[in-house]
Amino acid sequence: MEFNPQSSLTPEHVSPDHIYLSSLPRRSDPLFRPVGGHFKRLIDIFIAVTALVALAPLMIGVALIIWLGSNGPILYGHQRVGFGGRTFRCWKFRSMVVDGDVVLERYLRANPDAQREWERDRKLRRDPRVTPIGAVIRMLSIDELPQLFNILAGEMSVVGPRPVVAAELRRYRGSAGHYLRTRPGLTGMWQVSGRSDLSYRQRVLLDRYYVMRWTVMADIAIILRTIPAVLRSRGSC
């Protein structure tokens, strides 16, 4: 959903994130095009279709394991910010308990150190919401495979910045404009450069560097480096 200042939302229903997103450059600006243009988009479609066909047995198997192993939906969708500030539902295999928000809130209240870690990094090394099955598929990044459908829909790219929520984009400050110049990626420099072992500032700088120095060869190199990075499972989140 893209925020429209003239929508039926009343002032009490307009969140700070809506106000923030409404101030960002609009996708309708003819001079505002995603990095890589049509050529990068064609590569995205080709890779996404090929990967969905090749990985269909794995994805079906994971879906069955989640369905049989825990109560709740197989997929989980969360609102993220995409190209030009337009929000979209980013899909993953569900790796957490259904009432994850409640579990997280209780855990953070009872653990001040975890609260500080969450405020600093927006992630936890020991996340109480993650199911046993979820821990495995997250370690191998299998939980992110449904994002191939986001790529086909034009909401994401194979390579790009890590998809973030509006509250996180605020922390990008001067780098927010760089993030908004391209579609978020299924993989990216953050994935092959340490993943969650990186500080938040390092991840932001990598996103900025990627956008400023984008080339087709850079995308190919990142894709090739993603496979060994995942197999090493270094810094999985």
- Residue linked to tokens 């997250």: 138
H or E element at residue 110: helix 100-110
Q: How confident is the model at residue 14 (pLDDT cuts 50, 70, 90)?
A: very low
Listed as own residue / partner, the contacts of 11-20 with beta carbons closer than 8 Å and 24 or more positions apart are 17/165, 17/166, 17/167, 20/166, 20/169, 20/170
Pairing, β 87-93 against β 75-81: antiparallel
The dihedral through the CA atoms of 159, 161, 167, 170 has a sign that is negative
> Could you tell me which residue, 124 or 61, shows the higher pLDDT?
61
The dihedral through the CA atoms of 77, 96, 224, 196 has a sign that is positive
> Could you tell me which residue, 161 or 174, shows the higher pLDDT?
161
pLDDT at residue 9 in the model: 38
> Could you tell me which residue, 81 or 118, shows the higher pLDDT?
81
Q: If phi over 0 gives left and psi between -120 and 50 gives alpha, with beta otherwise, what is residue 27?
A: alpha
pLDDT digits (tens, 9 = 90+) for 169-220: 888 888 888 899 999 999 999 888 866 677 888 888 999 999 999 999 999 9
> Could you tell me which residue, 151 or 235, shows the higher pLDDT?
151
Asked if residue 96 lies in contact with residue 131, where contact means CB atoms within 8 angstroms, the answer is yes
pLDDT at residue 196 in the model: 61
SS3 77: strand
**Integer Cα distance of 190 and 187 in angstroms:** 8
Asked if residue 201 lies in contact with residue 155, where contact means CB atoms within 8 angstroms, the answer is no
Cα 196 from chain centroid (whole Å): 13
Give pTM, 2 decimals.
0.81
Q: How confident is the model at residue 237 (pLDDT cuts 50, 70, 90)?
A: very low
Cα 95 from chain centroid (whole Å): 14
Three-state secondary structure readout of 138-156:
HHCCHHHCCHHHHHHCCCC
SS3 126: coil
pLDDT digits (tens, 9 = 90+) for 110-127: 888 888 888 887 778 888
**Any idea which of 45-54, 83-92, 110-119 has the lowest mean pLDDT?**
110-119
pLDDT at residue 218 in the model: 93
Asked if residue 93 lies in contact with residue 63, where contact means CB atoms within 8 angstroms, the answer is yes
Asked if residue 79 lies in contact with residue 165, where contact means CB atoms within 8 angstroms, the answer is yes
pLDDT at residue 228 in the model: 84
Q: Which amino acid is at 30?
A: P
DSSP 8-state symbol, 70: S
